Structure 1
Amino acid sequence: MQQDQEVAVEARDLVKEFGPKRAVDGVSLSVPAGSIFGLLGPNGAGKTTTLRMLLGIIDPDSGSRSLLGCDQPLKVACDVGYLPEERGLYPAMNAREAIAFMGALRGLPLAEGRRRAVAMLAERGLADWEQKPIRSLSKGQAQTVQLLGTLVHRPRLIVLDEPFSGLDAINQEKLEALIRAEAAAGATIIFSTHVIAHAERLCERIAIIAAGKVAFSGAVDEARDQLRPVVRLQTRAAEGAWRAALPPGARQVGREWRFELPPGGPEPLLKSLIEGGAGIDTLSIERPGLHDAFVAIAGAGTADAMGREVPQ
């Protein structure tokens, strides 16, 4: 596959079946180098299977993929850091050795891995973890160690499968900061999540996956732009000629009117409201969030399913 050097990961029409179930059904993606890219969708949508095909852990039944310019992903495995959804560390290893061991699996000399592990733990105020066996750490602490092991060999591509699962709010913020720092240093980052807020805060581009298909792929702003901004209006006058300026879909919630911004923009709306004697108390124009865009693209049922999922 010919690969543009500015594209880190590309997939075309990936299909994967497990028995009678088609888990991934024609997924195509393009991830720009140096970007933070989110795979967004409910559990069971096909996100993990897609990631595993991209990484060469499993092969697609049909379709093609390219990783860092190579159509044989395992050949570039040493340039990839992968945090799977199913966490796993040797419980008897201490944190330093666990991090160094994970680096060694990606070609980093063990002595250098130990040196980097000590430095990475110290940088985060975790020097006292260095000799602690994994079995003595909490689930969130062990997950932090595994994440550092994912990064210790300084990969060009970082793939994180549901990385926020099991982390409390403070550690989620720390992970978000770490993801931003890795991207700022030049790494390409792909992460899957069923929490829309993480994708909205972090991602430049996303793919929304539902039932094994890509419902949308592109910039976060492009997803949000599929919906018109929402106007929230409060007036002193309850009736009058100004009411004709409200679009047919306007609805009243208490004293507030809510409706989509008309295609002509705010200026004609304001002119009609003022000339009609509305007596504007407040008027705000709010751009739809990614959650609203997700509902519009993937459907309310898919969004509801994501909302019901509780992080482990």
Structure 2
Amino acid sequence: MDMAVGELGAAGKYASAGDNRPLAIEARGLIKSFDGTRAVDGVDISVPEGAIYGVLGPNGAGKTTTLRMLLGIIDPDEGVRRVFGHDRPHDIGRLIGYLPEERGLYPAMKAVEAIAFMGALRGLPLAEGRRRAAELLERHDLAHAAGRTIRQLSKGMAQTVQLLGTLVHRPRLVVLDEPFSGLDAINQGKLEVLIRNLADDGVTVIFSTHVIHHAERLCEGVAIIAGGRVPYAGSVEAARDRIPAQVRLETRAREGRWMQALPAETRRVGDFFHFPLPETGIEPLLRQLIEGEAGILSLSIERAGLHDAFVAIAGEAAARQLAADNEEAAR
């Protein structure tokens, strides 16, 4: 599809107004149906170059279909997408590294050859691929596994080998579909470090996940997807700011005129008062509490997390499905 860049401009950037980075990925109005069922229904996403971006939602929400459309693996029924300004992502395949959710390596192939082979699929000469593969394996403490076949590796080691094969040709854009699935806590931590290092080197990373804490720790921006729709695409900070920060107050006095200063939404739970942070800030309230001799024992301001934002944006049903997916993955 030939489409002028300007026709995608309405998708906009999720970053702040001062962010002048060009977009690595831009998509508008992506729609895809399978057998009469609409799997993705009007997705808009914009990802600046060098960002870490998450596509967050429960299993079956349309995350994989969205990523495949962005990469040109499948075409949308409607809508447009561009990768580094190209509307035919296959034409710039050498700039892209893709780790699909379905892991797949030849069991009889040695680790170093598997990485080199994946690089060759992106145009990297085999000899150079083998050299880079050996370097990557050593860097990730897997030099001892270079000559082993895939079937001789543990599940975590095999997943790492496939990830390194995704990176061996040094792409500018890395797309990871549920990359943390099946990894233990140690390897999840290593993957988070790897993703941060890629972004530090200017590589754009977009990954799908149903685990909120990965997105909250890593991502600059997220697209929240539920039922094939994206009710929110923007910065993590802006998503969290949709919910007012909550104040947790404990006082020595049980009652008194100071209570008149508390907001109308205040809830009392045991020895604590809970209420949204007033728009005027905490200082005027503090003054009234002190003057009213409330006897402040503790006061904390707790900002909403991405989980709270997800519930508010996507709804309780999507949040319950997300929790169920996490429980299933933990088994």
* Superposition pairs of residues 1-312 of structure 1, within 5 angstroms: 1-2=4-5, 6-309=22-325, 310-311=328-329
CA shift, 1:273, in A, is: 1.1
| RMSD, matched Cα | 1.2
Post-superposition Cα deviations, 1:150-186, rounded to whole Å, max 9, x if no partner, equal: 0000000000000000000000000000000011011
SS of alignment partner, residue 222 of structure 2: strand
Task: Give the Cα–Cα distance (whole angstroms) in 2 for the partners of residues 74 and 226 of structure 1.
Answer: 38
CA shift, 1:246, in A, is: 1.7
How many residue pairs match? The answer is 312
SS of alignment partner, residue 116 of structure 1: helix
Alignment identity in percent? 64
Task: Give the Cα–Cα distance (whole angstroms) in 1 for the partners of residues 278 and 238 of structure 2.
Answer: 19
CA shift, 1:311, in A, is: 2.3
Task: Give the Cα–Cα distance (whole angstroms) in 2 for the partners of residues 132 and 60 of structure 1.
Answer: 40
Task: Give the Cα–Cα distance (whole angstroms) in 1 for the partners of residues 231 and 329 of structure 2.
Answer: 24
Post-superposition Cα deviations, 1:138-159, rounded to whole Å, max 9, x if no partner, equal: 2111110000000000000000
Amino acid at match of 2:104: G
Post-superposition Cα deviations, 1:65-89, rounded to whole Å, max 9, x if no partner, equal: 0011101110011110000000000
SS of alignment partner, residue 167 of structure 1: coil
Amino acid at match of 1:57: I
Post-superposition Cα deviations, 1:279-299, rounded to whole Å, max 9, x if no partner, equal: 000011111111111111111
CA shift, 1:253, in A, is: 2.0
Post-superposition Cα deviations, 1:26-80, rounded to whole Å, max 9, x if no partner, equal: 0011100110010011111111000000111101001010011101110011110
Amino acid at match of 1:59: D
Task: Give the Cα–Cα distance (whole angstroms) in 2 for the partners of residues 299 and 270 of structure 1.
Answer: 34
Deviation larger for 241-250 or 164-173: 241-250
Amino acid at match of 2:82: S
Task: Give the Cα–Cα distance (whole angstroms) in 1 for the partners of residues 314 and 169 of structure 2.
Answer: 37
TM-score normalised by structure 1 residue count: 0.98
TM-score normalised by structure 2 residue count: 0.92
CA shift, 1:245, in A, is: 1.6
Task: Give the Cα–Cα distance (whole angstroms) in 2 for the partners of residues 250 and 301 of structure 1.
Answer: 27
Which stretches of structure 1, 4 residues or longer, exceed 2 Å deviation after superposition? Answer: none
Amino acid at match of 1:268: P
Task: Give the Cα–Cα distance (whole angstroms) in 2 for the partners of residues 190 and 179 of structure 1.
Answer: 10
Task: Give the Cα–Cα distance (whole angstroms) in 2 for the partners of residues 129 and 98 of structure 1.
Answer: 12
Post-superposition Cα deviations, 1:193-232, rounded to whole Å, max 9, x if no partner, equal: 0000000000001110111111101111000110111101
Task: Give the Cα–Cα distance (whole angstroms) in 2 for the partners of residues 207 and 232 of structure 1.
Answer: 30
SS of alignment partner, residue 61 of structure 2: coil
Task: Give the Cα–Cα distance (whole angstroms) in 1 for the partners of residues 89 and 142 of structure 2.
Answer: 34
SS of alignment partner, residue 311 of structure 1: helix
The corresponding residue for 2:16 is none
CA shift, 1:20, in A, is: 2.1
What 5-or-longer segments of structure 1 have no aligned partner? none
Post-superposition Cα deviations, 1:76-126, rounded to whole Å, max 9, x if no partner, equal: 111100000000000000100000000000000000000000011111221
What 5-or-longer segments of structure 2 have no aligned partner? 10-20
CA shift, 1:248, in A, is: 2.2
Amino acid at match of 1:119: E
